[in-house]
Amino acid sequence: MKNKISPQILLIIISLMVTFIVVQLNIFNFFESKPIEEKLDDPHYGHIPIQKAEAQMYLGLHDNSPIPKKSKTKSNKRASNFYKNRAYAGAPPTIPHKVDEVISDGGFENCLQCHRNGSYSIDMKAYAPIAPHPDFKNCRQCHVPKLTEKLFKPTKWKNKFKVVSGRRHLPGSPPVIPHSLQLRENCLSCHFGEAAMQKIKVTHPERTNCRQCHVQTKTTENFKRAKK
Amino acid sequence: MTVMSYIAYPTKLGLEQLCTDLKKINGVDIERSENKEVVIVVTTFESKDEEERIEKELKDLSSLQCLALVYAGNEEKMINEKLNN
Amino acid sequence: MSCDELKSITRRDFMKQVAFASAIAVAHTMIPGVLFANEQKYKTTANMKWQKTPCRFCGVGCGLLVAVENGKAVAVKGDPESPVNKGLCCVKGYHSIQSIYGKDRLKKAQVRKNGKMVEVPIKEALDLVASKMQETIKKHGKDSVSMYGSGQWTIPDGYCASKFIKGCIGTNNLEANARLCMASAVTGFLTSFGMDEPMGCYEDIDYADVFVLWGNNMAEMHPVLFSRMLDRKQKNKKVKIIDLTTRTTRTSYAADKSFIFKGQTDLAVANAICYEILKTGKQNDTFIRKHCSLKKGKTNIGFGLEENFKFKDKASDISMEEYKEFLKDYTPEKVEKISGVKASEIRYLAGLYTNPNLKVTSFWCMGMNQHTRGTWINNLVYNIHLLVGKIASPGNSPFSLTGQPSACGTVREVGTLTHKLPKGVVMNKKHREFAENIWKLPAGSIDPKPSLHTVEMFKALDRGEVKFMWIQVTNPMVTMPNLKRYRDAAKKDDRFIVVSDIYPTPTTDIADVILPSAMWIEREGMYGNSERRTQHFNQLLTPPEDAMSDTWQIIEVARRMGFTKQFPWKEEEHIEKIWKEYSLFHAGNKHGVAPYEVLKDNPGMRWPYVNGKETRWRYNSKYDPACDPTKEFDFYGKPDHKAVIWQRPFEQMPEPQDKDYPFLLCTGRVIEHWHTGSMTRRIPALHQAVPEAYVEINPIDAKKLKVTNGDKIKITSRRGSMVMKADINGRGKPQLGEIFVPFFDENYLINDVTLDAYCPISKQPDYKKCAVKIEKV
């Protein structure tokens, strides 16, 4: 009968199906013992450093995605960008890319689409820095783009500051926080991740209670008992 | 990566000149003494080429009288030692 | 960038440091007198000798390694061998050694002559202390002298104090500041279980699925344990942290849920959870039948405010039916009205406790202990765990956290409280004879009647019944509630106050004799932390000039008063000998302590230490050799081997808000500062992080008062007032109508404002609630 499929075609169909299944199983790691998320929770799982693990989770398992595991902007370029975008230490950085005028469009928060979690931008070839204060929604109130390098009139002002490590009071002790925490309370937003400046990347991002060991410096004076 | 430190003495040209010259060399950090004519030199290099370059630049300095080697540390060696201890 | 690259950058910096340091060192030998400007910068930790010690500060009891170089402590790192903190510390621990080097360190003894403090040789000061003590006893009787010690006393300090005051002098006027921090926890344990201290250990953190924090800010107060909890949460996404609190703190931000309740209503909330457990029938009937008895005590028990207030509880048995009837007043809906915690939230909490698949650990500290019904609320949280049988097993743990580094080790285990002995109580003849025997004292030396608890002792100082007080390692002129009365009392004529301390404080300011003390690693000793771990530390440094360990000060005075037989030891071996003698008190598998050699070689050992092994979970026959092996659980602290489920009601605080004083004042700490700041304020990193105390106020209240950050506010209670700067939206956010003040700053003696009401059972004052009014200044 015509409905019967010839053995050769059946063989091809079966082998295609098998190949398809094998490919799918490989992609979804069925041959491995646990799904990747569980493995990462397992304290004994490999020695994959946190960033790599995060990137893997982010990438899914497709290695031909255009999103690189490491930022394509070299670390010294990231550092020079850092300084270039800020007038002084703690200044709100200028926006180094083209922006829409509309901040929020029916609840859709444009800036935070990339800056909430530090997504990768293909045209910037960089990971977006994570906003340490995403609860402030009126971004363009403080962050403005740089539309020209030209000045109106010359100025004496120089963007001259250096990021320095907080002082270590004893050899090996945890450095103090050398900057104000106003609008910068989320440590990991700047001290960890692919957009972070190399110099300040932290060696132990998994310890989330940062202020247990690192404290601010509200004064440089020492304690003196009050005179009676 | 290898790190080496020396105590360096200047020629008649003086400590000031020596420090200025040393600061120009890539891979060299210095710490000058406050009260004596002597300066500590620390060199950092990754490869043999870099090591040779630094050596040549130091040799060419007319302000450098001599270098006394104090310390040499190799990163791989350090790691191996720590692992074996 | 990968971790490896990052590590090699810091390795490069480190290696450069080592290179510079070596060259500088060689230059020093080759060129005498050579100086380099940035020498300090290049000091590395590569060649220092590291020795172990427990941390000087909180009750977590982290293991530290201190580097000593040329007789100075120069660096600290966490001891990776310590199972407590596994190599991590907090900011106080990391900088603790700087507390040794403050410029105004007390190095010489001082005596008040003609109103002024004059430096004297320490022998003269000790002579004076002994002679004054003898004179006072002769004139006014043995109960006119007293000693007030501390949960920061090392174990040998407390042991010698107990032997000296209770044994040799024969008065029970021996108290410690742990009365102000842990007494309710102790009476909670004793009434519920018959024996003190937690049945679990810190390993519970590694097994629990749910952490319920009852009114304590663990992120700042037990930071390393908090980090262990966060770590557990990171590795197990289903782990939950529930923050039950009166004010939003750093802990709240890290918790999964934060439920705000009105102060004092924790009693109602706990009862509501018990109601819900029994209503849904999810209690563990077998466990209750086999291992629990039900009792009730007196109600309307007062607050200790009257002069010569006395209270003795009376227990009577009740049935489960009576208990269920009692709990009908605590339905979640009724409790929602008084506490502010929604009924659904209460049910949620009850659900966590009853869920058979979840292991629950409850943590608490000062919120529950510094409470006018502190004993009751401790009982109630034990009730919850007992009703569902989630106790004394890994992860199922009602864990009472201790505040001070050795409140457990010294005050509770040695028993430096008016009614206690190292084993047992003064009221018990057998216990007295046991102590008199070990102490080689004639029978009848120990007084069988407990005398004065802390608040009462200071009241007696005021009234004149106590004329001599020796204060060691604590700062009551900052920490006594209703402070003005007790400060005036100490300043009265015919009161002789001896203070042993390391820095000038408001307490040394009113002293008649100041004895300079050695800091913890300037002498050998032991501390005991919250999880029953005793930790030994060697003497790592020499104390400056005449400074002398508190232990040796007591021994010197005791010898001068003729008690050479009780204090015969040579200085080189006295700590070892004291430990051996003290161990005799606790021998046995219910409380045995580890031998001296074992403590020296290890990062501490938990008691009971039986046949070379620590008991990690007590009362559980799988882990505790003192249990009856035929039973699964054996609460051997009680004569019937059963834990007690206590019927305790909600009773309102003695001074609630009213129309004249519409605000509630709460006091507490911040992570950077320890207690009254006498040590931490002299640590530059800590002082510079929090240089001044402040008052936290809710932003809406601040707006009403027209006050912004830094503006001055006057806080007034019926007892006193204080002007402080406002802190709005800082690390802690109080509720409407409530304020919070940290007590570390001697320039803002907030205890002039607080109330000395206490739990009548434990006698521990309530620093968390009193009525105040505030106004802009």
C26 part of contact set with chain B, CB < 8 Å: yes
- Confidence label for C84 from pLDDT (cuts 50, 70 and 90): very high
Q: Which of A45, A74, A223, A228 to mutate to test the interface with C (most CBs of C within 10 A)?
A: A223
Q: Round to whole Å and give the CA distance between C395 and C387.
A: 16
DSSP one-letter code for A75: H
> Which residues of chain A neighbour C219 with C-beta distances below 8 Å?
209, 212
* Reported confidence tier of residue C691, pLDDT bands at 50, 70, 90: very high
Distance from CA of C90 to the nearest CA of A (A): 5
Residue C668, pLDDT above cutoff 80: yes
DSSP string, C577-636: HHHHHHHHHH-STTT----HHHHHHTT-EESSEETTEE-SSTTBTTT-TTS-TTSSB--T
Q: Taking CB atoms and an 8 Å limit, are C20 and B32 in contact across chains?
A: no
Greater confidence (C208 vs A143) lies with C208
The pLDDT value given to residue A150: 82
Domain coordinates in residue numbering, chain A? 35-63, 74-218
Mean pLDDT to the nearest integer, A83-93: 84
C8 Cβ under 8 Å from any chain B Cβ:
yes
How many residues does this entry show for chain A? 228
A25: confidence class by pLDDT, cuts 50, 70, 90:
low
Q: Which of C57, C60, C64, C91 to substitute to test the interface with A, most A CBs within 10 Å?
A: C91
Distance of alpha carbon C493 from alpha carbon C506, whole angstroms: 18
Q: Of C661, C655, C648, C654, which Cα lies nearest the Cα of C716? A: C661
pLDDT band at C254 (very low <50, low <70, confident <90, very high): confident
DSSP string for A147-175 = --S--SS-----------PPPPSSTTPPP
The answer to whether residues C409 and C534 touch, using CB atoms and an 8 Å cutoff, is yes
Looking at residue C251, its pLDDT comes to 93
Under the phi-then-psi rule, with left for phi > 0, alpha for psi from -120 to 50, and beta for the rest, what region is C308? left
Q: Which residues of C touch A43 (CB under 8 A)?
A: 235
Alpha-carbon distance C94 to nearest alpha carbon in chain B (angstroms): 24
Cβ atoms of residues C292 and C280 within 8 Å? no
Output helix, strand, coil percentages for chain A, rounded to the nearest 5: 30, 5, 65
Judge contact between C146 and C174, C-beta under 8 A: yes
pLDDT in tens, B44-72: 998 889 999 998 999 889 999 988 888 88
Instruction: Give the Cα separation of C119 and C196 in Å (integer).
Output: 43
Q: Which residues of chain A make contact with C671, given a CB cutoff of 8 A?
A: 211-212, 215
Q: Give the chain C residue whose CA is nearest to the CA of B74.
A: C15
Chain B within 8 Å of C9 (Cβ-Cβ)? no
The answer, yes or no, to whether residue C446 has pLDDT greater than 90, is yes
Which of B32, B44, B70 is closest, CB to CB, to C22? B70
Digit-coded pLDDT (tens) for C28-64: 878 877 888 777 666 655 556 789 999 999 999 999 9
Query: Helices C550-560 and C155-162 meet at what angle, rounded to 10?
Result: 20
- How distant is the Cα of C39 from the closest Cα of chain B, in angstroms? 9
Cα C641 from Cα C193, distance rounded (Å): 9
With H, G, I as helix, E, B as strand and everything else as coil, classify residue C494: coil
Number of H helices, E strands in chain A: 6, 4
Please state the rounded mean pLDDT for residues A95-99.
Answer: 85
Residue ranges per structural domain of chain C: 109-181+406-568, 183-401+637-647, 663-754
Mean pLDDT of A187-192: 90
Which residue(s) pair with C127 in the sheet?
none
Residues of A in contact with C491 (CB under 8 A): none
Interface B:C, Cβ pairs < 8 A? 78
**Residues of B in Cβ contact (< 8 Å) with C24:** 31, 40
Q: Which residues of B touch C47 (CB under 8 A)?
A: none
pLDDT at A42 over 70: no
pLDDT (mean) for A124-128: 83
Give the pLDDT confidence score for residue A64 in this predicted structure. 56
Closest CA to C461 of C407, C415, C507: C507
Q: pLDDT digit string (tens) for C601-620?
A: 999 999 999 999 999 999 99
Distance from CA of C128 to the nearest CA of B (A): 52
**Other CB atoms within 10 Å distance of the CB of residue B79:** 13
Backbone angles phi, psi at C156, to 5 degrees: -60, -35
Model confidence at A1: pLDDT above 70: no
Residue of C498, C572, C481 whose CA lies nearest to C145: C498
Average pLDDT, chain C: 94
Q: What is the CATH number of domain C183-401+637-647?
A: 3.40.228.10
Please name the residue of chain B whose CA is at the shortest distance from the CA of residue C24.
B40
Report pLDDT for A4. Answer: 64
**A197-216: average pLDDT:** 87
Mean pLDDT, range C339-349, rounded to an integer? 97
Q: Which chain C residue's Cα is nearest to B45? A: C12
Per-residue model confidence (pLDDT) at position C701: 96
Give dist(CA C492, CA C740) in Å, integer: 32
Q: Which of A53-57, C369-373, C591-595, C706-710 shows the lowest mean pLDDT across its residues?
A: A53-57
Q: In what order do the strands lie in the sheet with C643-647?
A: C316-317, C292-296, C643-647
Q: What's the pLDDT score for residue C41?
A: 64
By the CB < 8 Å criterion, does C777 face chain A?
no
Question: What does the pLDDT read at residue C48?
Answer: 67
| DSSP codes joined into one string, C222-262 | SHHHHHHHHHHHHH-TT-EEEEEESSB-HHHHHSSEEEE--
Q: How confident is the model at residue C234 (pLDDT cuts 50, 70, 90)?
A: confident
Q: What is the pLDDT of residue A31?
A: 45
- Do residues C727 and C695 make contact, with C-beta atoms less than 8 angstroms apart? yes
Interface of A with C (CB under 8 A): 41-43, 49-52, 70, 75, 167, 169-174, 176, 198, 201, 203, 206-209, 211-223, 225-226
Q: Which of residues 642-671 of C touch A (CB under 8 A)?
A: 671
**pLDDT score at C383:** 98
Check pLDDT > 50 for residue C670.
yes
Please determine, for residue C388, whether its predicted confidence score (pLDDT) is greater than 60: yes
**CB atoms near residue B55 (< 10 Å):** 13
Confidence tier at A111 by pLDDT (50, 70, 90): confident
**Residues spanned by the domain of B80:** 2-84
In sequence order, what DSSP letters do the residues of C403-428 get, joined into one string? SSTTIIIIIIIII-STTB-SSSBTT-
- Residue C431 is predicted with a pLDDT of 96
Judge: B71–C23 Cβ closer than 8 Å, yes or no: yes
**Chain A interface disruption, residue of C106, C233, C688, most A CBs within 10 A:** C688
Q: What is the mean pLDDT of residues A206-222?
A: 89
**Phi-psi label, residue C219: left if phi above 0, alpha if psi -120 to 50, beta otherwise:** alpha
Higher pLDDT, A100 or C341: C341
CA neighbor of C173 nearest in space, from C413, C451, C445, C420: C451
Per-residue pLDDT at A32: 43
Phi and psi angles of residue C421, each rounded to the nearest 5 degrees, phi first:
-125, 165
* CATH code, domain with B69: 3.30.70.920
May I ask the CATH class of domain C663-754?
mainly beta
Chains near B with 3+ CB pairs less than 8 A apart are C
Higher confidence at residue C369 or residue A166?
Answer: C369
Structure confidence at residue A102 (pLDDT):
67
- Model confidence pLDDT, tens digit, residues C175-197: 999 999 999 999 999 999 999 99
What pLDDT does C40 receive? Answer: 63
Fold of C109-181+406-568: Rossmann fold (3.40.50)
Chain C residues whose CB is inside 8 A of the B75 CB are: 8, 11-12, 15
Q: Are strands C49-54 and C525-528 parallel, antiparallel or unpaired?
A: unpaired
Q: Comparing C-alpha atoms, which of C420, C426, C353 is closest to residue C384? A: C353
Q: What's the ipTM? A: 0.91
Please check whether residue C434 is in contact with residue C443, taking contact to mean a CB–CB distance below 8 angstroms: no
CB contact under 8 A, C227 and A212: yes
What amino acid occupies position C234? Q
Condensed to tens digits (0 to 9), the pLDDT of residues C235-246 reads 898 999 999 999
pLDDT, residue C223, reads: 93
Q: C62 to chain A: which residues are within 8 Å by CB?
A: none
Total structural domains within chain B:
1
Closest CA to C756 of C280, C161, C197, C309: C309
Report the pLDDT averaged over residues C409-427: 96
Least confident of A125-134, C341-350, C505-514: A125-134
| pLDDT for the residue numbered C155 | 98
pLDDT at A49 over 50: no
Q: Is A86 a residue whose pLDDT tops 50?
A: yes
Chains A and B touch (3+ CB pairs under 8 A): no
Instruction: Please state, in angstroms and rounded to a whole number, the distance separating the CA atoms of residues C643 and C382.
Output: 9
User: C770 CA to chain A: closest CA distance, Å?
Assistant: 28
Q: Per-residue pLDDT for C363 more than 90?
A: yes
Is beta strand C174-176 parallel, antiparallel or unpaired with respect to C496-501?
unpaired
Active site residue ranges of C: 92, 181-182, 366, 403-404
**Average pLDDT value over all residues in chain A:** 75
Over 90: is that where the pLDDT of C652 sits?
A: yes
